[in-house]
């Protein structure tokens, strides 16, 4: 299986009373009161250093993502970060996993196709092209896209992107939302016919259908662990089966928060406050932001409102121990983490492309590097072969990296170009 290091690029030093004083971490967090550009520059550089460290430590991929006006993740342009990572990891077998640039907020959307092609060229064909729909906060509230048009724009932009990468002829795109008279992408990606495509989702049935119909890897980017994702992922696999596709675990990706220490007590001592910072401050968002009217289609709206799952628990009521017990965070010794990941996430959800979040909330740089090293040394080697004996092909990974396990860089061997 393939295991990638994911990063949100959070504000690591929000005030202790942030969630009491301010309405939201997303859309409306007050920059001038809680942030400082020079310090934020340090966060960006730590983020890059941590991902490059993960690449050298043996991870299969490094992931960045896009959010806007969000203090828990502010890479408005993930491709700026991806560009640095592509350059810094040249000469390695590490994939650059963009999770990714958001089509409905890019106008025209071929901008994403162009930038991804650039990344694929710079990295020598190591790009995984995440094509997310984008959250309502980012797309509707920050970027002004009408909620009812959000999915339609995405689907049109998705089709345009795939065609722009592959078409041998220049073409005109006469779409409902986008009109371009001369689509003739420069550059084109190294990977043919196009880089592997991942579609992140949050459990909506229409996205399952879309991901399977388009032969993409469906990725559930969850902050609440495998247990609460189980029903959802089972639903995804049912759609895969219904549509007659094989149950190849590489059709699925999942994001899991992980902390590794000497033992449970060591983890609690080291990581508890950073985990609580993440769930209490970073997820402080008013519920209506998640569902502006029209963002869900009518069928989904009726389904959601008619079957209100028991009221989801409020993470603000939970503490570190709860997060670990409930699987929001997998924590413990390397052996504990390996066993829980394997059982709950990899086997439990049938996932071949695992992403782990190892820098969590306020976690400082040095501790993050330690967490990355402990995972890379104690967990990753034992998980990598989990699916091997079943013989699946990871069609959703850059072809030239499929067989290769990135060797851990020896001390003193800098990535090419560094």
Partner 1 sequence: MTREQTFTVWQGQVRMRVLSKGDGPALVFFHGSWGLTWDPFLDELARHFTVYAPEHPGTTPDAPDDIYHLDGLWDLVLCYDELLQALSLERPAFVGHSFGGMVACEVAAAYPGRARGLALIDPLGFWRDTDPIVNWMVLDPAQLRARVFREPDGEAARALFGGSSDPEAAIRARIRLMWSMGSTGKFIWPLPDKGLKKRIHRVKAPTLVVWGKEDRLVPPVYADEFARRIAGARVQTVGDAGHAPHLEQPETVARMVREFLSQ
Residues in contact with partner 1 by CB under 8 A are 140-141, 144-149, 152, 176, 286-289, 291-295, 297-298, 301-302, 305-306
| DSSP 8-state symbol, 70 | B
Closer to partner 1 at the Cβ: 266 or 297?
297
Separation between Cα atoms, residue 243 and residue 267, nearest integer Å: 43
Classify strands 217-221 and 252-260 as parallel, antiparallel or unpaired: parallel
| H-helix or E-strand spanning residue 3 | strand 2-6
Closer to partner 1 at the Cβ: 265 or 305?
305
Minimal distance in Å, beta carbon 137 to partner 1? Answer: 10
Minimal distance in Å, beta carbon 389 to partner 1? Answer: 47
Minimal distance in Å, beta carbon 254 to partner 1? Answer: 29
Closer to partner 1 at the Cβ: 182 or 306?
306
Minimal distance in Å, beta carbon 33 to partner 1? Answer: 20
Minimal distance in Å, beta carbon 303 to partner 1? Answer: 10
User: Minimal CA–CA distance to 69: which of 14, 37, 24?
Assistant: 24
CA atoms within 13 A on the CB side of 84: 16
Closer to partner 1 at the Cβ: 283 or 415?
283
Rounded to 5 degrees, what are φ and ψ at 11?
A: -65, 125
Closer to partner 1 at the Cβ: 82 or 136?
136
Q: Is the peptide bond before 327 cis (omega within 30 degrees of 0)?
A: no
Minimal distance in Å, beta carbon 301 to partner 1? Answer: 6
- 179 Cβ contact partners less than 8 Å away, ≥ 6 residues apart: 173
Closer to partner 1 at the Cβ: 42 or 202?
202
Closer to partner 1 at the Cβ: 158 or 254?
158
* 56-59: long-range contacts, CB 8 A cutoff, minimum separation 24: 56/92, 56/408, 56/409, 56/415, 57/372, 57/373, 57/376, 57/377, 57/408, 57/409, 58/376, 58/380, 58/381, 58/405, 58/406, 58/407, 58/408, 59/3, 59/4, 59/5, 59/94, 59/376, 59/380, 59/406
Minimal distance in Å, beta carbon 253 to partner 1? Answer: 30
Closer to partner 1 at the Cβ: 144 or 244?
144
- Distances from the Cα of 85 to the Cα of 52, 82, 127, angstroms: 7, 5, 11
Minimal distance in Å, beta carbon 291 to partner 1? Answer: 8
Residues forming beta bridges with residue 199, ordered by sequence position? 218
Residues forming beta bridges with residue 197, ordered by sequence position? 129
């Amino acid at each position: 299986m393939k295991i990638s290091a994911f990063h949100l690029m959070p504000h690591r030093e929000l005030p202790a009373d942030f969630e009491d004083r301010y309405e939201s971490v997303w859309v409306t967090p007050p920059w001038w009161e809680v942030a400082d550009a020079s310090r934020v520059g340090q966060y960006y550089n730590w983020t890059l250093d941590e991902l490059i460290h993960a690449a050298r430590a043996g991870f299969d991929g490094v992931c960045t993502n896009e959010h806007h006006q969000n203090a828990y993740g502010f890479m408005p342009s993930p491709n700026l970060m991806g560009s640095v990572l592509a350059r810094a990891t040249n000469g390695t077998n590490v994939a650059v996993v963009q999770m990714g640039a958001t089509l409905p907020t890019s106008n025209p959307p071929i901008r994403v196709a162009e930038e991804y092609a650039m990344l694929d060229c710079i990295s020598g064909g190591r790009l995984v092209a995440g094509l997310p729909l984008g959250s309502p906060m980012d797309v509707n509230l920050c970027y002004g896209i009408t909620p009812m048009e959000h999915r339609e724009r995405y689907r049109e932009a998705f089709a345009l992107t795939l065609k722009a990468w592959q078409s041998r002829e220049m073409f005109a795109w006469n779409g409902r939302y986008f009109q371009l008279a001369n689509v003739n992408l420069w550059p084109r990606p190294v990977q043919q016919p196009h880089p592997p495509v991942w579609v992140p989702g949050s459990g909506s049935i229409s996205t399952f259908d879309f991901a399977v119909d388009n032969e993409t890897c469906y990725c559930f980017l969850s902050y609440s662990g495998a247990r609460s994702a189980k029903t959802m992922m089972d639903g995804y696999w049912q759609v895969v089966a219904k549509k007659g596709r094989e149950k190849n675990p590489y059709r699925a990706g999942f994001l899991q928060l992980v902390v590794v220490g000497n033992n449970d007590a060591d983890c609690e001592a080291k990581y508890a406050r950073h985990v609580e910072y993440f769930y209490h401050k970073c997820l402080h968002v008013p519920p209506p932001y998640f569902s502006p009217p029209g963002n869900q289609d009518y069928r989904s709206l009726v389904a959601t409102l008619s079957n209100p799952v028991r009221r989801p628990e409020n993470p603000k009521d939970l503490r570190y121990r709860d997060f670990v017990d409930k699987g929001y965070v997998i924590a413990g010794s390397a052996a504990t983490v390996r066993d829980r990941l394997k059982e709950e996430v990899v086997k439990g959800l049938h996932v071949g492309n695992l992403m782990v979040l190892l820098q969590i909330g306020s976690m400082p740089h040095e501790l993050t590097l330690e967490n990355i090293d402990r995972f890379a040394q104690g967990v990753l080697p034992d998980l990598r072969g989990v699916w091997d004996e079943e013989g699946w092909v990871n069609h959703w990974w850059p072809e030239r990296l499929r067989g290769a396990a990135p060797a851990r860089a020896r001390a003193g061997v800098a990535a090419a170009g560094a």
